[in-house]
C-alpha cells in the first residue's frame, strides 16, 4: 500500500513537471523575439529548444535526472526570463496600459508635491 502511494506521488510530480514545462513553452512561444534581446536574455529560439526538449523528456524519457534538469530550466524561465520579457513587451503589473496603480492619465500622481 505504501509503495502504491509512492508511485502515485511520483506520477503526480511527473504530471506537474510536464504541465509547468508545457505552460513555459507556450509562454515562450507567444513572447516577442525582440523582447528577449531587449531584456538581455538568451534568444527565443534557445528557450523554445530547451523547453521543447524538456516537454519531450517529460513525455517520453522516464529518467528522473533529465526531468529534474528540465525542471530547473523551466523554473529559470518562469522566474527570471519571463518577467523580464513580459516587462519589455508592455506587461507592467497586470494593468492594461502598464504602470503603477498611482499613475494618472498623464503620468504618476505625486500628491501635489
pLDDT digits (tens, 9 = 90+) for 59-89: 998 788 899 999 999 999 999 999 999 998 8
pLDDT higher than 60, residue 92: no
Q: What's the pTM?
A: 0.74
Beta bridge partners of 104: 107
How far apart, in whole angstroms, are the C-alpha atoms of residue 61 and residue 75?
20
Amino acid at each position: 500500500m505504501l509503495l502504491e502511494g509512492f508511485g502515485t506521488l511520483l506520477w503526480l510530480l511527473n504530471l506537474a513537471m510536464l504541465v509547468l514545462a508545457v505552460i513555459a513553452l507556450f509562454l515562450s512561444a507567444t513572447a516577442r523575439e525582440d523582447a528577449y534581446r531587449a531584456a538581455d536574455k538568451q534568444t527565443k529560439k534557445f528557450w523554445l529548444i530547451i523547453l521543447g526538449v524538456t516537454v519531450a523528456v517529460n513525455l517520453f524519457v522516464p529518467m528522473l535526472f533529465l526531468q529534474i534538469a528540465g525542471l530547473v530550466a523551466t523554473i529559470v524561465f518562469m522566474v527570471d526570463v519571463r518577467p523580464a520579457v513580459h516587462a519589455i513587451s508592455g506587461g507592467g503589473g497586470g494593468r492594461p496600459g502598464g504602470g503603477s496603480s498611482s499613475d494618472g492619465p498623464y503620468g504618476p500622481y505625486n500628491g501635489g508635491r
